[in-house]
Chains A and B, each alone.
Chain A
Amino acid sequence: MGTVAIYSLFIINKSGGLIYYKDYGSAGRMDTNDSLRLASLWHSMHAISQQLSPTTGCTGIDLLQAHNFDLHCFQSLTGTKFFVVCETGAQNMEILLKTIYELYTEFVLKNPFYEMEMPIRCELFDLNLAQVIQKDRVALLGR
């Protein structure tokens, strides 16, 4: 039972536009252009993975494993993607993503000043997200 490191979080709208990016101290923080481009590429790869599927009903990449990190992705039925980049073998990331999705429905979608599909600039979302991301909290989620 240890704590896990989360390196970064991305939220992509249904058209592949990056609407939220948060870096939690990964080695190379990306600039805006890089993160936008990467989000768009991930959106494409996610779609390609569905086409690669030998059977119908594939919902796209859920987990990508590299030798030094894992990437967990959750796509809502409405097409919004949430993904975290974290250390290898990190547990409970599905629960974390679901929790972040719920925060999004609370502090983003109920905010009258948030325009749908646009970048998320909501203080309350940031504050609540920060609490959830705290390493020990992530560990606790699994209990």
Chain B
Amino acid sequence: MPPLTTPKSGDALFASVERVNAELFTLTYGAIVRQLLTDLEEVEEVNKQLDQMGYNIGTRLVDEFLAKSNVSNCADFKETADTIAKTLSYVCPVIAFFTATVAMHHSGTFHALSSANSLGFKMFLGVTATVTNWDAEGTTCSFVLEDNPLVDFVELPDTCQGLQYCNVLSGVIRGALEMVSMKTEVTWVRDMLRGDDAYEMRVKLTKQVPEEYPYKDDD
């Protein structure tokens, strides 16, 4: 098996792309969350919609990640847990990439604007996602985000206590992995907003979509 092309690291990746002021992002995200709260009313529905939006973004974003990160050889990547692990860790920068963006979201409320300075906006550099806690079958693992700048930003009003910005993030992972033939379930097991020491998502591979051949030889 040929060696996988060395992917660029997350920080090299970020350094190479065109950037914009984070406040444009922050405020735009705030605006969409406000629209969702107005349109859908129920916080639970907003959470679902955020997850869906994350999923949509993931399905579109994965190609840019693949194109820019030099991940080009998919030999055997579907065949063993080991290579799944590799693929998952390749997708990590996607998460980090998006985490950085999600971090901006929390300035949606005005007074959060007054924060930002202390944020690890060395961009996604500050948000290293590690893949760990593999199960014996090699189909479930954890993405752990320590020091997630999310937590610094969040100050939800009493009426929105159930609002989960992080659903966008799990949606992105689900969407991105589905595009490389892996159906996953993503659940949050640790959440700094609820007093845990890190963010941890449990990513469970539920189905590897087999290579689809466009011809049938059995009928």
Binding site for B on A (CB under 8 A): 15-16, 40, 43-44, 47-48, 50-51, 56-59, 76-80, 98, 101-102, 104-106, 109-110, 116
Contact = CB atoms under 8 A, between A and B. Distances in A.
Contact of B59 (A101, A105, A106, A116): A116
A109 B19 CA distance: 18
Given A48-B213, A56-B1, A76-B67, 15 more contacts: A15-B214, A16-B214, A47-B211, A57-B2, A76-B63, A76-B66, A77-B72, A77-B74, A77-B77, A78-B62, A79-B181, A80-B63, A106-B64, A109-B63, A116-B60
Given A76-B66, A77-B180, A59 B76 contact: no
A44 B215 contact: yes
Nearest to B76: A57
Contacts of A40: 214
B179 A78 contact: yes
Nearest to B2: A57
Contacts of B179: 78
A41 to B, nearest CB: 9
Contacts of B75: 56-59
B79 interface: yes
Interface string B67-99: 110011111110100000000000000000000
A57 B63 contact: no
A59 B74 contact: yes
Contacts of A43: 214
Contacts of B211: 47, 50
Contacts of B64: 102, 105-106, 109
28 contacts: A15-B212, A15-B214, A16-B214, A40-B214, A44-B213, A47-B211, A47-B214, A47-B215, A50-B211, A56-B1, A57-B75, A57-B76, A58-B75, A76-B63, A77-B72, A78-B62, A78-B63, A78-B66, A79-B181, A80-B63, A101-B63, A101-B67, A102-B64, A105-B64, A105-B67, A109-B64, A110-B60, A116-B59
Contacts of A76: 63, 66-67
B1 to A, nearest CB: 5
Given A47-B213, A51-B213, A102 B67 contact: yes
B60 A109 contact: yes
A44 B214 CA distance: 5
A79 to B, nearest CB: 8
A56 B78 CA distance: 11
Interface in B24-74: 59-64, 66-68, 71-74
